[in-house]
Amino acid sequence: MDAKEQDIAIGCRTLIYVDGSHLARDVLSDAVLAWNLLKPGGIPEVVNEGGFLTMTLTKRPGVSYEVQSAGTLLPALPDSFSAASTTVIINDATVLKVRDNFLIGAERGRFMRVKVTVAP
């Protein structure tokens, strides 16, 4: 394989961002296709821990992370994505563990995402 072929090979991506259709069937299709491109451990673990959505990340040097949660995927609403709606549980040199501040089931739906910034 040349470098270009390796770049799109199965299981080679650490993070995949899909900005596509919001129809349920399309979101499911995009998720299934993207899953096959991820390296093992490429997706941050999000689990129900003590009734809260909780995300655990393995940190890398030179990278900053901000975990955000929301009750909607729509921007510019009171319950849009924000780090203020999360609680940091662990933040050491190798691990970042953050939970949502709302109990699962207390809201209609909850979402978590991580913003990743690489130092220049």
Given this model, what pLDDT does residue 48 score? 84
User: Do 11 and 37 touch, CB atoms closer than 8 A?
Assistant: yes
pTM for this model (two decimals) = 0.65
Q: What is the pLDDT of residues 6-44, one digit of tens each?
A: 444 444 555 555 556 656 666 667 666 666 666 655 666
d(CA 119, CA 4): 25
DSSP code of residue 14: S
Cα 24 from Cα 26, distance rounded (Å): 5
Residue 59, SS3 per DSSP: coil
Q: Show the CA angle centred on residue 115, arms to residues 80 and 78, nearest 5°.
A: 10
86 close to 53: Cβ distance less than 8 angstroms: no
